Amino acid sequence: MTNQLLVHKHLIVRAESLAPLVDEQISINWMYDFIKFVNMKPMIGPFAKYSQMPGNKGLTIAAIIETSHIVMHMWDEPNPSLIQFDLYSCGEFNPEEICKKIKNDFECSKIEYKFIDREKELKDVSGGSQRFSHLYKTNYKERMIKEKNTLMLKNRKEVNINFNGPGYTIKHGPNKGKVLRHISVKNKDL
């Protein structure tokens, strides 16, 4: 039997989410899947509890794993929601893959992490906050496009389609209630 040396790594993630979990059972299922994703084994839990306390509304999900623990807090009152994630393990894991999973699973608009080697001292081995700068830029562009599209939809003049009626009814603006007739084209080449 070989004696393996254990590592002592601690991943701390802060993320802003557009799709936080609010259901305890769904979050427990997510944590089971996550534990499999990082190739670890649960010992106690996972378990989850939703807090209703004003200013602190959200889920806490935790699991004791064979090599230490995983805890995630999700506050759903702020917009975007706030995620604080913590994984300490004596087993090997890839912090960037974990951050990508969190980003994708919870539609994160921003994600930052610290990866700490706790073997002999608290040494930050994450390479600084620039490691995910490309995600910030990509998410910012995506968010700006989404906000512009939402704004355009809110400001456009909308109509009700009268499928069996004479045409379209204008819903907003100075011509509200006016019916526009369907256009019929006799020449199909137009």
> Tens of pLDDT along 102-140?
999 999 999 999 888 777 766 677 765 445 555 555 555
Amino acid at 28: I
Q: Whole-angstrom Cα distance, residue 46 to residue 31?
A: 6
Q: Are residues 119 and 166 in the same domain?
A: no
- Is the residue at 149 inside a domain? no
131 by Cβ neighbours in 10 Å (0-12 / 13-18 / 19+) ranks as middle
pLDDT of amino acid 130: 46
Q: Whole-angstrom Cα distance, residue 160 to residue 144?
A: 29
Q: Which residue has the tokens 């064979």?
A: 66
Q: Which residue has the tokens 């700490």?
A: 116
pLDDT of amino acid 105: 94
**Angle, to 10 degrees, between the axis of helix 24-37 and the axis of helix 95-105?**
150
Domain residues for 42?
A: 9-127
Q: Which of 159, 131, 153, 142 is nearest to 108 (CA)?
A: 142
> Cβ(68)–Cβ(77) under 8 Å?
no
Amino acid at 76: D
pLDDT of amino acid 140: 58
> Cβ(168)–Cβ(179) under 8 Å?
yes
**Neighbouring-strand partners of residue 163:** none
Q: Are residues 118 and 78 in the same domain?
A: yes
**Neighbouring-strand partners of residue 85:** 13, 72
pLDDT of amino acid 7: 77
pLDDT of amino acid 31: 94
- Is the residue at 189 inside a domain? no
Q: Are residues 121 and 175 in the same domain?
A: no
DSSP state of 130: G
pLDDT of amino acid 177: 73
Q: Are residues 96 and 25 in the same domain?
A: yes
Q: Last residue of some domain: 127, 147, 169?
A: 127
Q: Are residues 101 and 27 in the same domain?
A: yes
Q: Which two tokens stand for residue 182?
A: 């369907």
Q: Whole-angstrom Cα distance, residue 179 to residue 3?
A: 82
For the beta carbon of residue 172, count every other beta carbon within 10 angstroms. 11
Average pLDDT, the chain: 79
pLDDT of amino acid 151: 57
pTM above 0.85, yes or no: no
- Is the residue at 3 inside a domain? no
Q: Are residues 112 and 171 in the same domain?
A: no
Within the chain, which residues score under 50 in pLDDT? 1-2, 129-130, 157
CATH number, domain containing residue 56: 3.60.90.10
